[in-house]
Structure 1
Amino acid sequence: MEFDQNRAAKPFNITLLDIFRAVRQLVKSWHLRRQTRRILSHLSDTQLRDIGLTRGDIDRRS
């Protein structure tokens, strides 16, 4: 086995596009969590209890 065959092709090759995609994914997941919290906060305590949550769980689980 040659020396070059035992090495990774491109170790830690992170491009600007990869960073952009990661940031975009973080923003997207943050937005979805925020939207979910907003929707849940508009439910009544009875509706929250029906789905197994309390008002305090809304911020804790996000």
Structure 2
Amino acid sequence: MEFHENRAAKPFSWGLIKAIFIIPYHHWQRQRMRACTRKILSQLSDAQLKDIGLTCHDVRHYK
């Protein structure tokens, strides 16, 4: 029997782990960051928004 035939099989592939855990976590993390940003921007006044180059309309339609 050859060496490669006698080895134990790999228990998992990183692609599967990435698809199940890492990619959904990064998606959730991006959504939370957008929600926090939207909340902070909605609390700013019109003058403060103008200072950073945004309008109230921009904040309402931020996705």
Give me the TM-score of the superposition, normalised by structure 2: 0.69
Which structure has more helix as a fraction of its residues?
Answer: 2
**4+ residue runs of structure 1 moved beyond 3 angstroms?**
none
1:23 matched to which residue of 2?
A: 24
Q: Which has the larger radius of gyration?
A: 2
1:43 matched to which residue of 2?
A: 44
Identify unmatched segments of 5+ residues in structure 2: 1-13
Question: Between Structure 1 and Structure 2, how many residues are aligned?
Answer: 49
Structure 1 letter corresponding to 2:28: V
Equivalents in 2 of 1:60, 1:44: separation in Å? Answer: 16
Task: Give the superposed CA RMSD.
Answer: 1.5
1:53 matched to which residue of 2?
A: 54
Identify unmatched segments of 5+ residues in structure 1: 1-12
Give me the TM-score of the superposition, normalised by structure 1: 0.70
Structure 1 letter corresponding to 2:57: G
